[in-house]
Amino acid sequence: MSEYLPVNSNSLRTDTKIGCDLYILIDTGAGSRYILYCKGDAVFDNNKREKLLEKNISRLFIRKGDQKKYYEYLENNFQEIIADTRISSNEKAKVVHSAARNLIKDLFNNPRTGNIERTKTYASNMVDYILKEGKAARNLLQILAHEYYTYTHSVNVAAVGTLFAQSIGLGENELKSFCSGILLHDVGKTKISTEILNKKGKLTKEEFSKVKKHPELGVEILKETGSGFTEEYTITLQHHENADGSGYPYGLKNSEIELCSKIAHIIDVYDALTTDRSYAKAVRPFAALVEMKEKMSNCFDKEVFSDFVRFLGPCDQRAKTRKSGRLQRS
């Protein structure tokens, strides 16, 4: 397996330092070789771009070990990349998703002020992308991760949730707060043992009791940053509250649960059902909706759930190739 990964040359901004070495793949006649094209600490200038255009080279390569540096570069240059008309809608969606995964992975490795503030900034940029890019829904839904990890789950839920929230009329500022909150909704799990979170068998009563604390632990982490959160607190605290009052941590009933949290709860369960988990295989999107309707109708606001089913209708063909998974036990 190659130790190099391809990157789209159009994602590289002129007169910037990429932060990792860039390579081109050439055919020597005796075989293919990766040749250093631009050092990571050198400026990727217009001359370098023009040479690529002359030779009709659209793909460069980075070492696998430099993937994180490249994703950080994408995050730092997000607005310029998304605004570039030379980059296809599909490539932009890959930038949005890969940079978000890297960011949330950093957040869960170190949930401190810097990474939480990065998350808020990224959420704002992600919403700008969704509002400006007509094919955002189709392309994002096509590349959602198929396997469950806490950070990929957060990215999946943010992508689907923000697209759904847009479809039911949330405005730009509401969408940005919502997207930030849903990216952060499981941050409290950073204070729970990974042995419990990744356990393949059924959780003990004591273990499940610890997992149920993650909404309150998440709010504690957000408050530690000193940042002014509103919707983020609400989503983090309420995303496991059920419409009939059987949820946690406070047993709120439907009228007491905020709309943003109702949306987050539905998307949270849907993504858990439609991704492979450590203890259960995925189910198809339609089967997930049937299970949610027939076995969990007490959990969701009926009107919001009906809106979600209608929202997924046009997306169904786009989601059919996606493997699916089981209900998150958290």
Of 65, 99, 62, 101, the residue nearest 80 (C-alpha): 99
Percent of the chain with pLDDT over 90: 62
The first and second tokens of residue 149, run together, are: 């990890």
Asked whether the predicted pLDDT for residue 330 surpasses 70, the reply is: no
- Residue-range domains of the chain with CATH: 1-66 (no CATH), 77-319 (1.10.3210.10)
**Residue 226, Cβ density class (10 Å: 0-12 exposed, 13-18 middle, ≥19 buried):** exposed
Over residues 9-19, mean pLDDT = 94
Confidence (pLDDT) at 326:
33
Burial 58-94, CB ≥16 within 10 A → b, else e: eebbbbeebeebbbbbbbebbeebbeeeebeeebbbb
Residue among 184, 303, 193, 301 nearest 247 (CA): 301
Backbone angles phi, psi at 121, to 5 degrees: -65, -45
What pLDDT digit, counting tens, does each position of 53-72 carry?
999 999 999 999 999 999 99
Give pLDDT, residue 214.
96
Q: Which tens digit of pLDDT belongs to each residue from 268-293? A: 999 989 887 666 777 888 999 999 99
Judge contact between 218 and 237, C-beta under 8 A: yes
CA dihedral 45, 51, 54, 57 (to 10 degrees): -90
Looking at residue 248, what is its pLDDT? 96
* Cβ neighbours for 200, distance < 8 A, ≥ 6 positions apart: 278, 279
What pLDDT digit, counting tens, does each position of 186-207 carry? 999 999 998 898 888 889 999 9
Distances (CA, A) of 165 to 58, 238, 262, 266, 293: 35, 17, 11, 12, 20
According to the model, what pLDDT value does residue 145 have?
58
* Cα–Cα distance, 302 to 292 (Å, whole number): 11
CA distance 328 to 323: 16
pTM for the full predicted model? 0.84
Residue 139 has pLDDT above 90, yes or no: no
Confidence of residue 318 (pLDDT cuts 50, 70, 90): very low
Residue in 46, 4, 50, 11 with CA at minimum distance from that of residue 26 = 4
Tokens representing 323 are 């493997």
Mean pLDDT over the full length of the chain? 88
pLDDT at res. 147: 54
Lowest-confidence pick of 133-142, 211-220, 232-241: 133-142
